[in-house]
Structure 1
Amino acid sequence: MADPTDKNKEDELAGTEQPFVQHLMELRDRLLYCLYGLAVAGVLLAIWPGPSGLIDLIAVPIRAHMPHDAKLIAIGVFSPFFVPLKVLLMTAVLLALPWLMYQCWMFVAPGLYSHEKRFALPLIIFGSLLAYAGIAFVQFFVLDKMFGFIQKFTPAAVAATPDIASYVEAILSLYIAFGVAFQVPIVVMLLVRFEMVTIEKLRSFRGYFIVVAFVVAAVLTPPDVVSQLALAIPMCLLYEVGIIGARYFTKYSKAPEESADSAQS
């Protein structure tokens, strides 16, 4: 005899199937909504603080370690135009990130069971906050310490006047590296939730993860000790946060039949 809980699970999404073309139309609409959100964020940022204001903001960490009257230079002919535009678009993506994640959520939500919806949305919000935290950590801590460390090795006869294009490219790679690396708790909790690994295995793997974290930091960051430590140490701490959160997350996100089986056992 079939288990009644299996029938309930099937009935929850019964009749919600849509033709493939309708899925494509839904995807098109969500992508358009994403573009609208990016456009609104870009217009708002163009009005205030403007491309020049954004450049001034991201240049604060390096200018703090340059002579008082020194400025970043633009070597390329079109750099004064394209670099601020690139920074504006990058900031617009960050500003619209919750909206973009919401559109992703609205696209996949109809195909999820109720218990899956219960943990998917908090994960999206938590992941967005972790990405913001990683980028803020770079802007307000890592860059200042990294440039301070680098300036100590600059000879007195050398004038350190970086090119704005190379500077933006360097910090953009750091933003992405830290934003992704700060997702460690999400990855750990999902691995435990889908029973790909146990919490006990994660604890026993702790020493290996520390080595992995330092290797990843060495690959993703510039060749200076400060930025490597600034990435590796938070990754190790976030790994511990993921282990702690995995226990509660697994209980919270269980399907009704899984909770019933756990209670009976």
Structure 2
Amino acid sequence: MSDDKKPDDELAGTEQPFVSHLIELRDRLLRAALAVMICFGVLAFFPGPGALYDLLAAPLVAHLPAGSKLIATNVISPFMVPLKITLLAGFFVALPYVLYQVWAFVAPGLYSHEKRLVMPLVISSTVLFFAGVAFCYFFVFGKVFTFIQSFAPKSITAAPDIEAYLSFVMSMFIAFGAAFEVPVIVVVIVRMGLITVEKLREFRGYFIVVAFIVAAVLTPPDVVSQLSLAIPMCLLYELGLWAAGYFVKYSKAPDETGESTSA
């Protein structure tokens, strides 16, 4: 009889922890979604969807010919596009809290030395993503639109569609935000033991080639935007090499530290 009950005994107690993890995950997701919606609601009242879209379109409008405006080719675009911009802005504002919820869910399963690494990475990845978006908005957009307008024939009146502009902005923000995460990626792969800092230094020349290929694929086919993405990636790669050596030592387990000292 005892042998027949053995399989049930091995599974005893495993269902409840799994359900509790699912409940915690649900609660974390609901809190993150609620934070995004609260930020969305606040931004919808002030400064408002229209003002947010005008702010987003300002770099392009500043480089259009006098009297030119963006157009809407879809009937509901003047309503939907500003709402999408507001939702995107709400997500950006709530991003630190969203990442905190991710951290709070993962943290209980980490060792103390691993926790020392995760929180700085969460903060630095958020800052770097915002830095990439800001660099794209304040610097790259102005250079790209100036370059494009310089090639536009005099017989053409530029009147970009607002949905097409939103798609362009989204792709550029994601490209630059992700590209600025290079230091975080370098630190993570080194800490996981996938590769050493010395090997990454030897790979430096190949990374430069990869950076220009990625820039050519992710950005419009103009030299300005490609250089604006490739050059920061190369500089951030060097920053990642420096940060990897520091963070790996900072997040070592106590036994690893003792072994390295004795060696």
Aligned partner of 1:204 among 202, 227, 246? 202
Aligned partner of 1:135 among 109, 133, 158? 133
Counterpart CA distance in 2 for 1:135 and 1:18 is 43
Q: Which residue of 1 aligns with 2:124?
A: 126
Give per-residue Cα distances to partners, 1:61-110, cap 9 Å, x unaligned: 11111123321111111100110011111111111000100000011011
Amino acid in structure 2 at the alignment position of 1:174: M
Q: Which residue of 1 aligns with 2:183?
A: 185
Gaps of 5+ in 2: 1-14
Q: Which residue of 1 aligns with 2:12?
A: none
Counterpart CA distance in 1 for 2:133 and 2:254 is 38
Please say if residues 68 and 157 of structure 2, whose CA atoms lie closer than 8 Å, have aligned partners that are also in contact. no
Gaps of 5+ in 1: 1-16
Aligned partner of 2:154 among 151, 156, 172? 156
Task: Give the CA RMSD over aligned residues.
Answer: 1.1
Amino acid in structure 1 at the alignment position of 2:130: Y
Amino acid in structure 1 at the alignment position of 2:56: I
Counterpart CA distance in 1 for 2:61 and 2:247 is 43
Counterpart CA distance in 2 for 1:114 and 1:202 is 27
Aligned partner of 1:99 among 81, 97, 100? 97
Q: Which residue of 2 aligns with 1:20?
A: 18
Amino acid in structure 1 at the alignment position of 2:189: L
Give per-residue Cα distances to partners, 1:229-261, cap 9 Å, x unaligned: 111000000000000111111110101111111
Aligned partner of 1:165 among 163, 166, 170? 163
Please say if residues 113 and 252 of structure 2, whose CA atoms lie closer than 8 Å, have aligned partners that are also in contact. yes
Please say if residues 39 and 90 of structure 2, whose CA atoms lie closer than 8 Å, have aligned partners that are also in contact. yes
TM-score by length of structure 1 reads 0.92
Q: Which residue of 1 aligns with 2:262?
A: 264
Identity of aligned residues (%): 58
Q: Which residue of 1 aligns with 2:33?
A: 35
Amino acid in structure 2 at the alignment position of 1:65: H
Q: Moved runs in structure 1, 4+ residues, more than 3 A?
A: none
TM-score by length of structure 2 reads 0.93
Q: Which residue of 2 aligns with 1:74?
A: 72
Counterpart CA distance in 1 for 2:192 and 2:29 is 29
Amino acid in structure 1 at the alignment position of 2:217: V
Counterpart CA distance in 1 for 2:98 and 2:16 is 23
